Amino acid sequence: MTKIIGITGGIASGKSTVVEEIRRSGYKVIDADAVVHDLQAKGGKLYQALVGWFGQDILMADGQLDRIKLSQEIFSSSENLAKSADLQNQIIRQELAEQRDCLAETEEVFFMDIPLLIELDYQAWFDQIWLVYVDEDTQIKRLMERNGYNLDQAHARIATQMPFPEKKKYASLVLDNNGSLEDLKKQVHTALQKV
């Protein structure tokens, strides 16, 4: 019986570092963001749906999606955010399910990295859910450094996600990333030994 473990967190929580360590340990990880990126590539299913909705304004000169403009459009209103979620989630869920079923045929244990795992109700897919946790002050600081956001922009992005105390209720394991990088890596390796 295949064991599937979901990994989630919040923006700037350190989830990418956790995924990197898991991969380095030899496990396969389906990365939802990478799947979305492929679906949004020129000609992809999401690309077609998004251009159909927002028009040519969200394209760069080479015809690829302008991710900055797209992000601005999506986050410009709660209506756009909701519509974008509906439009994209169905296509993404279908693709993720296909990739999951494919890996389940060959792997005893594998992981799926889904940023909005809980918000989008993927819990039933997993035997365990690992949450990469960080406190809000650290999250805001990292988001401002990493993305060049000002304080208001950082707060606005974080506000679109479920708060960590809510997410913790769904987690089988919490990886605390308020400490050092080495500390986080140790937690990951301890968790992998128990898998």
Looking at the fold, whether 7 and 82 belong to one and the same domain comes out as no
Q: Do 53 and 114 sit in the same domain of this protein?
A: no
Let me know whether 72 and 20 are in one domain.
Answer: no
Is 25 marked as binding a ligand?
Answer: no
- Assess whether 65 and 94 both reside in one domain: yes
Q: Is 138 annotated as a binding residue?
A: no
- Is 16 annotated as ligand-binding? yes
Question: Considering the entire predicted model, what is its pTM?
Answer: 0.85
Q: Please report the pLDDT score of residue 155 as a whole number.
A: 92
Cα–Cα distance, 110 to 98 (Å, whole number): 14
Q: Is 111 strand, coil or helix?
A: strand
CATH number at residue 37: 3.40.50.300
Q: How many domains does the chain have?
A: 2
Same domain (yes/no): 88, 161? no
- Dihedral of the alpha carbons of 170, 17, 3, 97, in degrees to the nearest 10: 80
- Domain end among 72, 106, 140: 106
pLDDT-flagged residues of the chain (< 50): none
Give the range of the structural domain holding residue 84, as residue numbers without chain letter: 33-106
Whether residue 22 is found in the same domain as residue 100: no
Residues 57 and 42 in one domain: yes
Q: Do 83 and 132 belong together in one domain?
A: no
Last residue of a domain, one of 90, 106, 122: 106
Asked if residue 147 and residue 74 are part of one domain, the reply reads no
Q: Is 71 annotated as belonging to a binding site?
A: no
Domain limit, last residue, from 88, 106, 124: 106
CB under 8 A, 24+ apart: contacts of 76-81: 81/160
Q: Is residue 13 a known part of a binding site? A: yes
Asked if residue 144 and residue 123 are part of one domain, the reply reads: yes
- The pLDDT of residue 88 is 87
The predicted structure's pLDDT at residue 161: 87
180 labeled binding residue: no
**Is there a single domain that holds both residue 194 and residue 117?**
yes
Give the helix, strand, coil percentages of the chain, each rounded to 5.
55, 15, 30
